[in-house]
Amino acid sequence: MASVPLTPQKPQAGQEGPRTPGPAPQGVPAGGSAPAPSTARAGRPRTTRAGMVWGAVVVALLALVLLIVFILQNQQPARVLFLGLDGTVALGIALLIAAVGGGVLVAAAGAARIIQLRTHARRARRAGSKP
């Protein structure tokens, strides 16, 4: 038994595509061609940048709410010693400051690595273009 491809294949330039006998698929006129791909996919809408930003904002707001709840539940005082400084801060705030400091260090290391890779790629491009 011969297998039939599920997706239509485009004919090469100068060649006519294969014709299959039988009734036209639903939504396709009998003698015409299929509608444009943008209208054919009516089931699932296309993902856009605005939609992705909206999703990221929702996730960030949920994380912010959880962070606020964490800080409010951890109000007991904590003694903090740092580089000769001595003080008392709420435990939730101290942990938040530590997390932000760690994030800044990770971002700095990531930025340094990106700069290093871009410099290497630029040098490789220049070396490859010279005769």
* Residue 14 in tokens: 């100068």
Q: pLDDT grade, residue 97 (50/70/90)? A: confident
Q: What are phi and psi of 90, to 5 degrees?
A: -60, 140
For residue 121, being part of any structural domain is answered with: yes
Among 85, 61, 89, which residue's Cα sits nearest to residue 74?
89
State the average pLDDT over residues 3-10.
56
Q: pLDDT grade, residue 18 (50/70/90)? A: low
pLDDT in tens, 103-116: 999 999 999 999 99
Rounded Cα distance between 8 and 12, Å, is 13
Selected residue with higher pLDDT from 43 and 123: 123
For residue 3, being part of any structural domain is answered with: no
Rounded Cα distance between 102 and 96, Å, is 10
Residue 35 burial (CB count, 10 A): 13
For residue 94, being part of any structural domain is answered with: yes
Predicted local confidence at residue 110, as pLDDT: 95
For residue 32, being part of any structural domain is answered with: no
Q: Where do we find the tokens 């299959």? A: 20
Maximum mean pLDDT: which of 48-52, 63-67, 82-86, 113-117:
113-117
Q: What string of DSSP letters covers 1-30?
A: -----SS--PPPTT-PPP---SPPPTTS-S
For residue 57, being part of any structural domain is answered with: yes
For residue 91, being part of any structural domain is answered with: yes
Q: Which residues form the domain of 60?
A: 49-129
Whether residue 92 is predicted with pLDDT greater than 90 in this model: the reply is no
Specify whether the CB–CB gap between 95 and 74 falls below 8 A: yes
Maximum mean pLDDT: which of 23-27, 28-32, 127-131:
127-131
Report the percentage of the chain scoring pLDDT > 70: 66
pTM score of the predicted model: 0.49
Predicted local confidence at residue 62, as pLDDT: 94
Specify whether the CB–CB gap between 75 and 91 falls below 8 A: yes
Number of structural domains the chain divides into: 1
